[in-house]
Amino acid sequence: MPFIERDHTADILMHVWGETTEELFSEAAGALFSIMFPSCRPGNAHQAFTLSADSYEALLGKFLSEIIYYAEVECEGYTSADVRINGFTLEARLSGEPYDPARHAGGTEVKGISRSGMKIEKTMRGYETDILFDV
């Protein structure tokens, strides 16, 4: 798994990495899915959207917030995110299944994506950042 949970007292802090920014964003979505939808499976629920921002950090925050929004209003649980990035514009396609509170209990509600400590850095293994999920 290209993300690990780090200790944080109040919330959930994840360290995420990927070879490319697209992979980093896709793995960041994977980290979010692992918190919210641990028991969801791939299925016939899909969402697609496009977003822009003025930095990679702002774009990542916006992207993960958009996933939380779609999950809640469409009542879906996602398992994968396909991401294309061009400059500071992102196209994403989410896949998963309809969320069933009875069957999919056990996830943690994420209230928001904190910008605290989020800094996308170029490293030996590509791109890395911490992401703090407010739960």
Partner 1 sequence: MIEGIQKAGPFEWEIPVGYTPGMRVPGRFFLSEELMPTLEKGALQQCANMATLPGIERYALAMPDIHWGYGFPIGGVGAFGMDEGIISPGGVGFDINCGVRLIATPLTVKDLGRIQPLLSHLFSKIPTGIGTKSPLRLSDQDLDAMMIEGASWVVNQGYGMKRDITRCEEQGSIEGADATYVSPKARARGRPQCGTLGAGNHFLEIQTVDEIFDPVAADAFGISGGQVCIMIHCGSRGLGHQICTDHIASLEKATKKYGISLPDPQLACAPLTSPEGEAYFSAMACAANYAWANRQMITHFTREVLAKLFSIDYDDMPLIYDVTHNVAKFEEHMIDGKRKKLCVHRKGATRAFGPGNHDLPPGCEDIGQPVLIPGSMGTSSYVLKGTQTAMEKTFGSTCHGAGRVLSRSQAKKHLDGGEIRDQLGVQGISVKATSNKVIAEEAPDAYKPSAEVVRVVHEAGLSLRVARLEPKGVIKG
Cα–Cα distance, 30 to 1 (Å, whole number): 9
Least CB distance to partner 1 at residue 42 (A): 18
Site residues for partner 1, 87-116, by CB under 8 A, read: 99-101, 104-109, 111-116
Tell me the residue type at 69: Y
Could you write out the three-class secondary structure of 15-39? EEEECCHHHHHHHHHHHHHHHHCCC
Least CB distance to partner 1 at residue 19 (A): 26
Q: Does 78 bind partner 1 (CB under 8 A)?
A: no
Query: If phi over 0 gives left and psi between -120 and 50 gives alpha, with beta otherwise, what is residue 75?
Result: left
Binding site for partner 1 (CB under 8 A): 5, 7-12, 36, 53, 57-58, 61-62, 65, 68-69, 72-73, 75, 99-101, 104-109, 111-118, 132, 134-135
